[in-house]
Each structure stands twice: as structure tokens, then as C-alpha cells.
Amino acid sequence: MEGADQGQSPAPKRPLTEEEKKAQREMDRLRLSRAYVLQQIESSTNERYTESLRKALNEIEQKLAGSKSS
């Protein structure tokens, strides 16, 4: 029964600042957009549309990478 608490840190979490909340929402939005674009790429039969989606996916992934390094 002692092992149930071992995965948690002893310090309580502090509330997120408005800036951190905004960054978290942006990351969530980018992840959702990425998932949607990937699904559209998989189901697309139009090569031009697929290419447009790939460009959009590339931009989303660049933003995600930039947000993680900040």
C-alpha cells in the first residue's frame, strides 16, 4: 500500500500563470491541429490537397518544435 504514493512529488503544484496557461492552450491547439491534418492526409485522394496538407503539417510541427525549445 505504501507504493501508491511513490509516483507523486512531495511538493504541491503551484497554479499556472496566465502566460503559462496561454502557452499550454497554444500547445494543445497545435497538437489537435496536427492530429486533424494527419487524419486528412491519410484519407485524401487528391494529390494537390495532400501536398497542401503536408505543408500545413510542416508548419505546425515547426511551431511545436519552437514552442518546446522556448
**Other beta carbons within 10 Å of 53:** 19
10-residue mean pLDDT profile of the chain (70 residues): values are 54 84 94 98 97 98 84
User: What is the Cβ-side half-sphere exposure of residue 5, based on CA atoms within 13 angstroms?
Assistant: 4
Q: What is the model's pTM?
A: 0.72
The whole-number pLDDT of residue 8 equals 58
CA-CA distance, 4 to 28, in Å (whole number)? 29
What's the CA gap between 47 and 59, in Å, rounded? Answer: 19
d(CA 60, CA 19): 20
Q: Are 30 and 60 in contact (CB under 8 A)?
A: yes
